[in-house]
Amino acid sequence: MPSEADRARLIATADMLLDVLGEVRSRQPSTADVRIVESWMARVAGARENLDAITEWSAAEAYPVNALHPAESLRRLFPAGLDGADLETELSRLEDEFARDHRARERESPVAPLTPDELLADVLLGHAGARFRYLDVRSVDAWRREHLRDATNIPLERLAEEAPRTFRKETDLVVYGDDNAGTDAAAAELQRLGFQPPTRIPGGFPWFKRRGWEIETGPSEGP
């Protein structure tokens, strides 16, 4: 009889095996022999119920479960073998089904790589996004018509004078103008002033509108 701690581990292992078996079952095509996986799901569920009935436990770390080759975990769960069936034969049939499932998933079309726009949006909106400061170098009139809520407006012609008073040189700046030309000119000027290379928005301010960012419109006080 396994110890209380070992029984608790086996219960946790059974839970993990049921998850793995359930995932494979959900992907089985209509041509597969679903009885192979379903019979193991029933066996594992039964073993778990029996162990749970004689174990005082609240939580336990499971034995490792290899989602592609679960045989070792199942041998732990059924050390005395199976009633009315050969354990190794049944494990072999199950692993054949797991291998079929693995091959089918490998044949699936790979996920399309992110576009440059998607990569940039992922960076700006990701966990590191809070460190960025947004610098809008368009004219004051353009800023007053529409702008990002948290951006700072310093028109390109005033950048040399105002940027050093507004930002620290090590600030992670995201810079954009009306278009690529304005954005590139601002980025070059910032680097000339000693700022670290900013993140440039391709195409300038319209990029945010295409990507569905929240834009504020209407009269607004300029800087």
Sheet containing 132-136, strands listed edge to edge, beginning at the edge strand earlier in sequence: 152-153, 132-136, 172-176, 199-200
According to CATH, the topology of domain 116-217 is Oxidized Rhodanese; domain 1 (3.40.250)
Where in the chain are the domains? 4-107, 116-217
pLDDT tens-digit series, residues 145-163: 999 988 999 999 999 999 9
Residues 74, 65: Cα–Cα separation, whole Å: 9
Which two tokens mark 112?
């399309």
Helix, coil or strand: residue 134: strand
The strand pairing partners of 135, in sequence order, are 152, 175
What are the angstrom distances between the C-alpha of 216 and each of 60, 178, 208, 212?
52, 16, 12, 12
Q: pTM surpassing 0.85? A: no
Residue 169's closest CA among 189, 133, 193? 193
Element of type H or E holding 185: helix 180-192
Q: Where are the beta strands (DSSP E) in the chain?
A: 132-136, 146-148, 152-153, 172-176, 199-200, 215-217
Class of the domain covering 4-107 = mainly alpha
3-state helix, strand, coil in the chain (%, to 5): 55, 10, 35
pLDDT tens per residue, the chain (223 residues)? 678 888 888 998 999 899 999 998 998 887 777 899 999 999 999 999 999 888 876 777 777 787 778 898 999 999 999 988 999 999 999 998 888 888 887 776 666 777 888 888 888 877 556 788 999 999 999 999 999 988 999 999 999 999 999 999 999 999 999 999 999 999 999 999 999 999 999 999 999 998 888 899 876 544 4
Q: Do domains 4-107 and 116-217 have the same CATH topology?
A: no
Q: Residue 68: phi, psi to the nearest 5? A: -90, -35
